[in-house]
Chain A
């Protein structure tokens, strides 16, 4: 409110009002000022610090400068079968790892909106992860018990889930990762073309709630998104190579901190599965896929090739 208005309403003097305003302002600022140096040396208050969540593959972590940023919303976009869900499941496992292995030693919430959660694949990945790590602290983790799966078939379910259920789980400290697979499904079909403004409003309210939770509990948020074809209105159709971009438009893009794009190529490589003794057990053909950083505050726009095998997502050297 302006000074004049306050003067009129309260009848206080100008000096009193400025004191009042200052007091209110001081109370409203929750974060104290810190210098970047303090942040760099991790001296700042806990709520300002951020970390990286390992993806479970050292090369991918290196590519992403340590893993997924724990601050803000990370979007994973891609065509169907490009490996979005696989990456998400893997993150659900790595978040449970102890800190020295790049995890946050806490569980995850997995909100499915498209399909049922692939339980079998999860169990398979857990088994293989336990086989690979021979550290007792890892084999003792009950991975499957720490993933809370939530099905939201409609927008109302989703908003109830993130507004009511998530804060409770996060407050208990059991959960340090939120995965929504996928955000596009609900927002794409529930609104008609003419309701774009309404959709934008809902999306931003939704993102605001997620960001709030993210700030409060320092839990990374992953949103899976679908892609839409880019159609150039000038030449009528897409020419040559297909071009896709994440769906939901610029309004959603404004709300996302990091955007990763996954895609599948036609190349294949042969991956040999080895047992503990180093003997080749089986061979599988795996598609080479690309992970591209579309934008992120800390990463250049680069590309990384990866594959998905029994163990999960792995970068190619």
Chain B
């Protein structure tokens, strides 16, 4: 609606009158009735009606009547890239697996592409580990059921430790190679050769950022970056909370800045068909009145709760790490246990032993080795 009125085929006299009355752009005039316009610039309402018809007709060639469109929903139909529900249903939803079947099951198959998923939890619960795991898993080739993508990793806390990435990536590579060995006839050998530690590390694009200005700048630059790196299927921001939790006295400004960022992220997720994974810290919500107890809630306030489509809260239950699906458009609220081993995120042992890990001995062997080493390792939960 930035078109100038001067660009329409109007007589110089009318143009002059419009200009001196302050009507410069289409948006200035579009909501005005012919009577008002006539009064404003000193012409008859018939003349004014003709002008308006001309302008609205030119800007909206589809509106047949030429009447002044006051209903804003009329514009919506013209938004490019719109989809009907049946079209959406035909497009299969793709997921990034977490390597923990129960966690995948909870999320409906893994972390969904085109959506924002948020992991919240207390320090040390494994948010960063999940992020690193996903950054590796997104690169699993298609023949293993992966999405064969790359990762943008935005690190605001400085907790991205390459040695740890190496551990997890090595475990993932071993796992896939073993799967390939079992189903050798069906997987061409060269695919497994391209999926190596080096290729994984090369596929993680790492941004370090220290304050919220840098974070906003990075997110602003992302569309351009993604155009150059079209294989990126995952954007991780670990964590979204830390840059916003200090130096912000004005909370309404913070909410606004966060809101803009959330919009940008969800646009990126949709346009580039990728998953956005955010981590959030927990904070204590103080008891508001009598009878209420202080309890832990995800940080950044109420309005931030609307941003992520899928929200998972990680917490300790006794000695067991558990994930609670707090919010999801399609899945019910459940709690599943998981554990973190040298190789990354895994199912709890007793579960993984009974399930189909016959084809993939890596997670089970890694985790059992690990539990025997550490005396304080998590007690296993029989479910």
In the complex, what residues of A have CB within 8 A of residue B162's CB? 36, 39-40
In the complex, what residues of A have CB within 8 A of residue B322's CB? none
Check A204–B246 contact: CB distance below 8 A.
Answer: yes
A249 CA / B282 CA spacing, docked (Å): 11
B79 within 8 A of A: no
A47 CA / B209 CA spacing, docked (Å): 11
A250 CA / B157 CA spacing, docked (Å): 16
A292 CA / B206 CA spacing, docked (Å): 30
Q: Known: A2-B260, A257-B157, A303-B375. Contact between A215 and B296, CB under 8 A? A: no
B201 within 8 A of A: yes
- Could you tell me the distance in whole angstroms from the C-beta of B225 to the nearest C-beta in chain A? 7
Check B159–A257 contact: CB distance below 8 A.
Answer: yes
Check B123–A303 contact: CB distance below 8 A.
Answer: no
Check A29–B159 contact: CB distance below 8 A.
Answer: no
Check A254–B218 contact: CB distance below 8 A.
Answer: no
Max count, chain B CB within 10 A of own CB: residue among A2, A40, A212, A257: A40
Chain B residue nearest in CB terms to A13 = B2
Query: Which of A19-27, A154-162, A267-275 lines the interface with chain B?
Result: A19-27
Check A197–B123 contact: CB distance below 8 A.
Answer: no
Query: Which of B35-43, B53-61, B163-171, B176-184 lines the interface with chain A?
Result: B163-171
Q: Known: A36-B204, A37-B201, A254-B123. Contact between A208 and B246, CB under 8 A? A: yes
In the complex, what residues of B have CB within 8 A of residue A201's CB? 246
B207 within 8 A of A: yes
A168 within 8 A of B: no
In the complex, what residues of B have CB within 8 A of residue A308's CB? none
> CB within 8 A of B207: which of A33, A255, A257?
A33
A301 within 8 A of B: yes
Number of interface residues of B (CB under 8 A): 62
In the complex, what residues of B have CB within 8 A of residue A47's CB? 208
Q: Which residues from 156 to 202 on chain B have a C-beta closer than 8 Å to any C-beta of chain A?
A: 157-166, 198, 200-202
Chain A residue nearest in CB terms to B238 = A297
> CB within 8 A of B281: which of A2, A254, A259?
A254
Q: Known: A28-B217, A253-B122. Contact between A65 and B374, CB under 8 A? A: no
A212 CA / B158 CA spacing, docked (Å): 11
B128 within 8 A of A: yes
Chain A residue nearest in CB terms to B164 = A298
- Could you tell me the distance in whole angstroms from the C-beta of A298 to the nearest C-beta in chain B? 4
Q: Which residues from 190 to 245 on chain A have a C-beta closer than 8 Å to any C-beta of chain B?
A: 196-197, 201, 204-205, 207-208, 211-212, 214-215
In the complex, what residues of B have CB within 8 A of residue A259's CB? 123-124
Check B214–A29 contact: CB distance below 8 A.
Answer: yes
In the complex, what residues of B have CB within 8 A of residue A141's CB? none
A39 CA / B372 CA spacing, docked (Å): 32
In the complex, what residues of A have CB within 8 A of residue B76's CB? none
Check B165–A28 contact: CB distance below 8 A.
Answer: no
Check B210–A212 contact: CB distance below 8 A.
Answer: yes
B363 within 8 A of A: no
Check B286–A300 contact: CB distance below 8 A.
Answer: no
In the complex, what residues of B have CB within 8 A of residue A250's CB? 122-123, 282-284, 296
Interface of B is mostly: mixed
Check A215–B158 contact: CB distance below 8 A.
Answer: yes
In the complex, what residues of B have CB within 8 A of residue A72's CB? 157-159
Q: Known: A33-B207, A39-B162, A205-B247. Contact between A253 and B217, CB under 8 A? A: no
In the complex, what residues of B have CB within 8 A of residue A22's CB? 220-221, 224
Check A39–B206 contact: CB distance below 8 A.
Answer: yes
Check A36–B159 contact: CB distance below 8 A.
Answer: no
Q: Known: A215-B158, A250-B284. Contact between A34 and B373, CB under 8 A? A: no
Q: Mark B120-141 against chain A: 1 for CB-CB distance below 8 A, else 0.
A: 0011110011000000000000
B104 within 8 A of A: no
Check B210–A302 contact: CB distance below 8 A.
Answer: no
> CB within 8 A of A257: which of B125, B158, B205, B217?
B158
> CB within 8 A of A25: which of B220, B260, B282?
B220
B149 within 8 A of A: no
Chain A contact patch, size range:
35 or more
Q: Known: A302-B376, A303-B375. Contact between A197 and B158, CB under 8 A? A: no
In the complex, what residues of B have CB within 8 A of residue A292's CB? 376
A187 within 8 A of B: no
In the complex, what residues of B have CB within 8 A of residue A302's CB? 373-377
A297 CA / B209 CA spacing, docked (Å): 17
B255 within 8 A of A: no
Q: Which residues from 276 to 292 on chain A have a C-beta closer than 8 Å to any C-beta of chain B?
A: 292
In the complex, what residues of A have CB within 8 A of residue B375's CB? 302-303
Chain B residue nearest in CB terms to A197 = B286
Chain B residue nearest in CB terms to A201 = B246
Check B158–A65 contact: CB distance below 8 A.
Answer: no
Q: Which residues from 27 to 81 on chain A have a C-beta closer than 8 Å to any C-beta of chain B?
A: 27-31, 33-37, 39-40, 44, 47-48, 50, 65, 69, 71-72
Check B206–A300 contact: CB distance below 8 A.
Answer: no
Check A301–B208 contact: CB distance below 8 A.
Answer: no
In the complex, what residues of A have CB within 8 A of residue B216's CB? 25, 28
Q: Known: A22-B220, A25-B221, A28-B214. Contact between A297 and B246, CB under 8 A? A: no
A19 CA / B286 CA spacing, docked (Å): 44
- Could you tell me the distance in whole angstroms from the C-beta of A54 to the nearest C-beta in chain B? 16
A295 within 8 A of B: yes
Check A208–B281 contact: CB distance below 8 A.
Answer: no
A246 CA / B281 CA spacing, docked (Å): 18
A128 within 8 A of B: no
A255 CA / B283 CA spacing, docked (Å): 12
- Could you tell me the distance in whole angstroms from the C-beta of A214 to the nearest C-beta in chain B? 8
Q: Which residues of A contact B (CB under 8 A)?
A: 2, 13-14, 21-22, 24-31, 33-37, 39-40, 44, 47-48, 50, 65, 69, 71-72, 196-197, 201, 204-205, 207-208, 211-212, 214-215, 249-251, 253-257, 259, 292, 294-298, 300-303
Q: Give 9 closest A-B pairs by Cβ, nearest first.
A: A295-B124, A28-B217, A37-B201, A36-B204, A25-B217, A298-B161, A297-B159, A204-B246, A36-B201
